[in-house]
Amino acid sequence: MSSNSGAHSPVKTTGLHIGEAVPGVAKVDPIIIADNVTRTFGGLKAVDVEHVEIPRGAITALIGPNGAGKTTLFNLLTGFDKPDTGTWTFDGTRLNGVPAFKVARMGQVRTFQLTKALGLLTVLENMKLGAQKQTGENMFASLIKPLWRKQEGEIEERAMEILARFKLDTKKDDFAASLSGGQRKLLEMARALMSSPKLVMLDEPMAGVNPALTQSLLDHILNLKKEGMSVLFVEHDMHMVRHIADWVIVMAEGRIVAEGDPESVMQDAAVIDAYLGSHQDVDLGVVTGRVSGENTAGVEDLLADIEAEVGLTDSSAYIADTNTDTQEEDTK
Amino acid sequence: MSSPHFVRAPRRTRTILLFLALLFGALILQSTSAAPAQADEVGTEYDFYFAGNVKYESKPLEDVTISVEGNGYNAEVETDAEGKWKIGVPEKGTYTVTLDEETLPKGVIVAEGSASVESEIALTNSKIVNYFLGEGVRVTTSFFDQLVERTVNGLNFGLLLALAAVGASLVFGTTGLSNFAHGEMVTFGAVMALLFVNLEVPLWAALPVAVVMSGVFGYVLDTGLWRPLRRRGIGIVQVMIVSIGLSLLIRYLFLYFIGGGTYQLPGAGEAGIKLFGSVTLSITDMISMATSAVVLLGVAWWLVKTRTGKATRAISDNPSLAAASGIDVDRVVRIVWILAGALAGLAGILWAYFRPGIKWDMGTQILLLVFGAIVLGGLGTAFGALLGSIIVGLLVELSTLWIPSDIKYVGALVVLIAVLLVKPQGLLGRKERIG
Amino acid sequence: MDWEAILSNTASWLISPETIAYALAALGLAVHFGYGGLLNFGMAGFMALGAYGYAISILTFGLPWWAGIIVGMLASVVFAFILGIPTLRLRADYLAIVTIAAAEIVRLLFTTQVFDEVTNSADGLGNYHEGFRAANPFPEGTYGFGPWEYNANGWWVRIFGIGLLIVAALLVWLLMRSPWGRVLKGIREDEDAVRALGKNVFAYKMQALIVGGVFGALGGVVFALPSAVVPSVYVTSLTFFIWTILLLGGAATVFGPLLGAVIFWVIMGFLSNVLPAMASSGLLPFMSTTQAATLRFILVGLALMLIVIFRPQGILGNKKELTFVKQ
């Protein structure tokens, strides 16, 4: 459905912040408020956020060069990693120190940069796993089918509804491992919706997705907002950020360096600085192992970046760029 | 599987007596020697037996306790008025025959060899075990001397453990494999040494050749098995279970070829040289420690200074990054397997001297301590494995100051679990980045 | 060679207490590894606790036989907690190393002289059969046909064991078709993903460890019922044989472990009869009868390797639903 709903001009939510759009600016209706969050890895400060607020009912993009600490911040906020210091609240409830599964139960679900479709479960089983408060998930109750048969039916109905929206209903009995990369991303997002979350956190939803699926993914994200959910996503693709984000938070070297609506952030000197800095790193060519012509390649990337920031988009260049970035971050 | 031939219900009174005997030694000895002598023969219902005659300066000694243990069976007997004893056993095989020195008269000790000997009934139905007694003071070693002696022993054990552990750790670091067949690589070195010694190769040549063969074994395993599996892209858990199958396969091949007995290399169990107080150390022990230390220093130098060594560490750190920066991962992994094989083989030889004895399943006994050392030091860091090994070695030996020696490995394994509870990344490991 | 005796001996392994005991333990391991992805290499420890829990309750504390079984099960639950609390939050291979170490600790503690009064150290325990045999509903005498001819006690042990096995298999089937089983299988695939969906992964893994561990303890009880409890049985090789059985039958299946145990023991029984017979009749030159008896264990190792490399899903497993998650 709604494949053309705002494909060209999505309705942006405005008036999210109070006062001047500086890093750490207060929001009118924040869903997450974080203070003094730090996390170090062997002497390196991966995240050092003094204050940040994520607006409710809007799509917020978290951008920044590689190693800026975006994914680490994500992991901290969702309880997948423990911070050195820091407190934060979700919907008014304190979340620091709360284990990941409880965070998810409160309505803050996430997806992963590397898709985590459960390969040897079927698509439908994947979906059903997303539903909350299942009687049959208690070990003793699970032995007696009448206790959970009715609920299971309801969950299945709901799962099929969502799958149909994501055009995965025909694949319900396939193993998730047999899906394409993009379909797995869709499945992961659909599965997250099974829990009726308040805030959906997407870690690089576009990474590794075939360009043909990009538009449909964008539409699904816009639909989340339409249904009243808040969205926070990490992304490298400036084109996409511009297109759908209502608010942009820029990170570099663990800190938040800029905040604002997409248009103004793209022109922010700090942002261009952050990206320039990162591309100087790439130019060193250590990571990619390119021996010859590394300068020109780096410069090309850089030019492409700057072009995007000024609005002359060339999305295909970006997908390639994003892919290499992803690979680098995957290696642990 | 094997069912026991001799099962007895707990005998409470006897146990208590034994316990008290251990506690009050001489006192109990006096009170029981007044009582009529116990039967001088036990287990007469069996076809096989150990027997002997305990004499000191051609005078028979009465009421000396001899015990036989092994193959799920144990029994003990006291010598009769003529100093004779006989213990029947249910099946052929190797047993440990022990003379309880506490029950010898004052001033008499087992002079040559140990009071506890491994003896095998193989071809005949019986075996005579005699002890050479001599004058001497049973050393009541001071706590400090014991501490020093155990520490030296522990260091020796820790160093040889480190040889095996560093190799296993390098394999884990570069390939991600927890190699359950590493114990068999340890046994391989000892068995090769035994083979060459039996082929009349002089010891100075046999041992190095055995180490080289162990390196070749590592190479063969990598080329014939591990590399093809890596090529197939088989998951790490799967490969780990393959290593378990390999471990069973090789272990029973050893049993097939060398049988269930224990074999000694020349020079094993030789008398120690008195260093100070009551602390003694045999030449073999000294050579063993020196060899381990030199080889470990060599490995450390290789890891830190040479190109291949650095590449090894780089791969342990981040395999795909290392591959991307032009390191030939396959070549480095091959070298690591050869090195791990040679180190394990050397550890096997040194362990054959330390235990002492070569047995088909000796590697299995050490495998868990190797794993323990690796986890303790931090998975995948070679220097962590070294540190972990020395701690485990010291722990195993020093713990016998307080706990019975038949549960000395328990202490080390409990510490392993405790460390995981407190500091899962090990002593030298880094915290992992999640996600 | 006496083929009739060889085949008859082989056939008797079909329903031997050993086969039933191994099948129970393998079923427990299916819950751990096949469905939950937990690398438990300490099954021998769970079995030892079941066997010793049973024997010691009867001999030292004078409990009735059925209470002995319950004590054995409780001991394995405690063991599961001790293993699980430190390791279930860590990487999978930590669990492997800790479980194998813990099983060895258990075995060494049952072997040591220190607790001789209770455990009878290396000699093991026997003579605890009275209560169980008194509860035997079968009249005295010898029944059966062909290779399966046993006395009343023999049948009682086998039928009781098979009964336990059926109940255990039914429980596994009920659990794995339910949403609980779905969560467990999800954890096997990727526990972070399941955590992100609001499931308490740690609790599920712990429950799976306990359920599988209790089956292992019951396997130990069945192993102990007909004969004796000897510590030298509960070595790591026992754990590895259980793994071979599980992977042979199919790790993520209910009937795989049962089928695997039957095949394993029938082949082992056959080889243990036929190989020495062949060696002594000169069919296997250069091989003594002892060596011929060792040969079957070499073959077990080889079989385990080949299964894992070429048919990791086992005999009954679905080819697509490989149980080895690439990590």
pLDDT along chain A (332 residues), means of 10: 50 80 84 91 84 92 85 90 90 88 92 84 93 92 93 94 91 88 88 92 84 84 91 83 88 88 79 60 34 43 48 34 35 34
Q: Please tell me the distance from the alpha carbon of residue B148 to that of residue B152, in angstroms, as a whole number.
A: 6
Measured CA to CA, the distance from residue B412 to residue B392 in angstroms comes to 6
> Which residues of chain C lie closer than 8 angstroms to B245, CB-CB?
244, 301-306, 308
Hey, are the CB atoms on C86 and B16 less than 8 Å from each other?
no
Q: Which domains does chain B have, with CATH numbers?
A: 3-140 (2.60.40.10), 142-434 (1.10.3470)
Q: Could you count the other beta carbons within 10 Å of the beta carbon of residue C1?
A: 12
Instruction: Enumerate neighbours of A (3 or more CB pairs within 8 A).
Output: B, C
Closest chain A residue to B435, measured at CA: A75
Residue A269 zone, left/alpha/beta (φ > 0; ψ -120 to 50; rest): alpha
Task: Return the pLDDT at B170.
Answer: 93
Per-residue pLDDT at B424 exceeds 50 = yes
The residue segments making up the domain with residue C10 are 3-326
User: How close C141 comes to chain B (CA, Å)?
Assistant: 24
Residue B101 structure tokens: 């020195």
- Tokens 């994520």 found at: A54
> Would you state the pLDDT for residue B136?
67
B368: closest CA of chain C, how far (Å): 7
**What is the nearest CA distance from A151 to chain C, expressed in angstroms?**
11
**Least confidently predicted of B76-90, B105-119, C212-226, C246-260:** B105-119
- Closest-approach residue (CA) in chain A for B434: A81
Burial of residue A232, with CB atoms counted within 10 A of its CB: 0-12 exposed, 13-18 middle, 19 or more buried: buried
For chain C positions 118-147, those within 8 Å of chain B (CB to CB) are 118-127
Count other Cβ atoms within 10 Å, centred on residue A185: 27
Q: What is the tally of structural domains in chain C?
A: 1
Owner of token pair 């048919």: C311
Contact B187, B381 (CB under 8 A): no
Tokens 């990727």 sit on residue: C190
Classify A322 as helix, strand or coil.
helix
Residue B48's pLDDT is: 83
Contact (CB, 8 A) for C235 and C86: no
Q: Is the pLDDT of residue B380 over 80?
A: no
Measured distance CA(C227)–CA(C40) in Å, rounded: 27
pLDDT category of residue B183 using cuts at 50, 70 and 90: very high
Contact A75 B435 (CB under 8 A): yes
Two tokens at B78?
A: 């006291």
Per-residue pLDDT at B111 exceeds 80: no
Q: Name the range with the highest mean pLDDT among B106-120, B319-333, C250-264.
A: C250-264
At B150-175, the pLDDT tens digits run 899 899 999 999 999 999 999 998 98
Instruction: List all residues 6 or more positions away from B268 whose beta carbon is below 8 Å from its beta carbon.
Output: B284, B352, B353, B356, B357
Q: Are C107 and C235 a contacting pair, CB within 8 Å?
A: yes
- Is the minimum CB–CB distance between C227 and chain B shorter than 8 Å? yes
Indicate which CATH number applies to the domain containing C162. Answer: 1.10.3470
Distance from CA of B432 to the nearest CA of A (A): 8
| C174 contact A CB<8A | yes
Identify whether the C-beta of residue C98 lies closer than 8 Å to the C-beta of residue C83.
Answer: yes
The token duo for C150 is 């046993």
Query: Considering only CB atoms, which chain C residues are within 8 Å of B3?
Result: 227-228, 230
C236 lies within 8 A of chain B by CB = yes
CA nearest to B79, candidates B115, B54, B50, B47: B54
Residue C83: closest CA among C110, C101, C108: C101
Low-confidence stretches of chain C (pLDDT < 50) are 325-327
pLDDT tens digits along B218-274: 999 999 999 999 998 888 888 988 999 999 999 999 999 998 889 998 887 777 777
In this complex, the residue of A139, A175, A195 whose CB is nearest that of residue C197 is A195
**C200 interfacial to chain A (CB closer than 8 Å):** yes
**Rounded Cα distance, C17 and C265, in Å:** 11
Identify which of A71, A73, A66, A68 has the alpha carbon closest to the alpha carbon of residue A51. A73
Q: Is B1 in the C-facing interface, judged by CB distances under 8 Å?
A: yes
- CA atoms within 13 Å, Cβ hemisphere of B24: 11
Task: Please tell me the distance from the alpha carbon of residue A133 to that of residue A106, in angstroms, as a whole number.
Answer: 12
Strand order in the sheet with B126-128: B41-42, B84-89, B48-53, B126-128
Residue with tokens 């938040």: A256
Measured between beta carbons, the chain A residues lying within 8 angstroms of B320 are 327, 331
- Specify the 3-state DSSP secondary structure of C145: strand
pLDDT at A137: 93
Strand segments, DSSP code E, in A244-327 are 247-252, 255-260
Supply the mean pLDDT for chain B.
Answer: 81
The encoded tokens of residue B68 equal 């036989």
Is residue B33 predicted with pLDDT exceeding 60? no
Chain A residues inside the 8 Å CB shell of C207 = 139
Q: Are C270 and C6 in contact (CB under 8 A)?
A: yes
The interface predicted TM-score (ipTM) is: 0.89
**Residue contact A118–C321, C-beta within 8 A:** no
